């Protein structure tokens, strides 16, 4: 079985994101970039499937600027076998990314595509479900457990009320939630080895995909700030404030 894992390069989750003064976006100059945390979990799951003998090959995929190469190298160092990079400077929205992945799926014919549930920059949580729709494949979104046997994937999904289990026929789409696994760190020897693993470049045009955005961002603004409050000296003062000042108890 071949597993395809789309990964996104995003601003590192530890960076305090700042809105640009002109309201066109957020500051990205000299900001640390990393693999989207959910995508690390997706890669880890694919590599574990390979280690368990269920998957034969793990192919990482990323669409975006040249620097996505670095992120793909990280995926290779974590255990992916090779990578595909759709190189473009264009703004990519989930529908466009899903179409690019679909085009790569047509070439690569994986039985399983594991994505992250959500990119922590756009917070969209769409691409996997969109890809499933475009391919007409079943989807196991927000997976906290994945077991594969006999051409079927049994997925435990995190839902608002608890957990839900679905069984889907391969080929299928899975999106990784936080509790699916704990991703490994790439070791130095593996980082060295990853340098020799192949990354193949392509472009949206070569894949025949129109990536023009459907949503236009008119402005990006700071959210309303909560004004800082006060420190209270004791539990008694706290209760007093909650009763008479805030009137919430």
Ligand X SMILES: Nc1ncnc2c1ncn2[C@@H]1O[C@H](COP(=O)(O)O)[C@@H](O)[C@H]1O
Q: Which parts of 68-136 are beta strand (E)? A: 82-87, 112-116
Q: Which is nearer to ligand X, 64 or 140 (CB)?
A: 64
- Judged by CB under 8 A, the residue of 64, 79, 94, 110 near another protein is 94
Cα separations (Å) of 157 from 44, 139, 146, 165, 178?
Answer: 17, 10, 9, 6, 11
Task: By CB under 6 A, name the binding residues for ligand X.
Answer: 6-8, 36, 38-39, 42, 61-64, 92, 94, 97, 115-116, 118-119, 122, 124-128
Which listed residue (43, 60, 141, 186) binds another protein by CB under 8 A?
Answer: 141
With b for 16 or more beta-carbon neighbours within 10 A and e for fewer, the 134-145 pattern comes to: bbebbbbbbbbb
Smallest gap from residue 236 Cβ to ligand X (A): 46
Among 1, 120, 191, 199, binds another protein (CB under 8 A): 120
| Residues 59-88 as x/- pattern, contact with another protein by CB under 8 A | ------------------------------
**Which of the listed partners (another protein, ligand X, ligand FAD, none) does 62 bind, with a CB threshold of 5 to 8 Å by partner kind?**
ligand X
Q: How far apart are CA 208 and CA 216, in angstroms?
A: 22
Asked, as a colleague might, if the bond just before 39 is cis with ω within 30 of 0, I would say no
Q: Binding of another protein at residue 176 (CB under 8 A)?
A: no
Question: CA–CA separation, 214 vs 131, rounded Å?
Answer: 16
Phi, psi of 28 (to 5 degrees): -120, -10
- Does 34 engage in binding with another protein (CB under 8 A)? no
What residues between 34 and 63 interact with ligand FAD by CB under 6 A? 37
User: How far is residue 215 from each of residues 39, 94, 139, 219, measured CA to CA in Å?
Assistant: 24, 10, 25, 12
In the list ligand X, another protein, ligand FAD, none, the entry touching 238 (Cβ below 5 to 8 angstroms by class) is another protein
Q: Scanning residues 112 to 141, which ones bind ligand FAD (CB under 6 A)?
A: 120
Radius of gyration of the chain (CA): 21
**Interacting residues toward ligand FAD by CB under 6 A:** 13, 37, 120
């Amino acid at each position: 079985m071949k597993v395809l894992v789309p990964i996104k390069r995003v601003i590192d989750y530890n960076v305090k994101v700042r809105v640009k003064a002109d309201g066109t976006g957020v500051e990205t100059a000299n900001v640390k970039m990393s693999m989207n945390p959910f995508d690390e979990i997706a890669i880890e799951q694919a590599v574990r499937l390979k280690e368990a003998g269920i998957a034969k090959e793990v192919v990482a995929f990323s669409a975006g600027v040249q620097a996505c190469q670095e992120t793909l190298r990280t995926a290779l160092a974590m255990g992916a076998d090779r990578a595909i990079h759709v190189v473009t400077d264009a703004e990519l929205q989930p529908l466009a990314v899903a179409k690019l992945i679909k085009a790569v799926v047509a070439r690569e014919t994986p039985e399983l595509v594991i994505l992250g549930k959500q990119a922590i920059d756009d917070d969209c949580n769409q691409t996997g479900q969109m890809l499933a729709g475009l391919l007409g494949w079943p989807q196991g979104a927000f997976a906290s457990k994945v077991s594969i046997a006999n051409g079927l994937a049994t997925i435990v999904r995190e839902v608002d009320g608890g957990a839900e289990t679905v069984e889907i026929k391969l080929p299928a789409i899975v999106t990784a939630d936080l509790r699916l696994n704990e991703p490994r760190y790439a070791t130095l020897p593996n980082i060295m080895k990853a340098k020799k693993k192949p990354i193949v470049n392509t472009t949206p045009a070569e894949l025949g995909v129109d990536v023009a955005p459907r949503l236009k961002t008119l402005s990006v603004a700071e959210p309303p700030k909560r004004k800082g409050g006060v420190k209270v000296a004791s539990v008694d003062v706290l209760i007093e404030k909650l009763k008479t000042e805030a009137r919430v108890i």
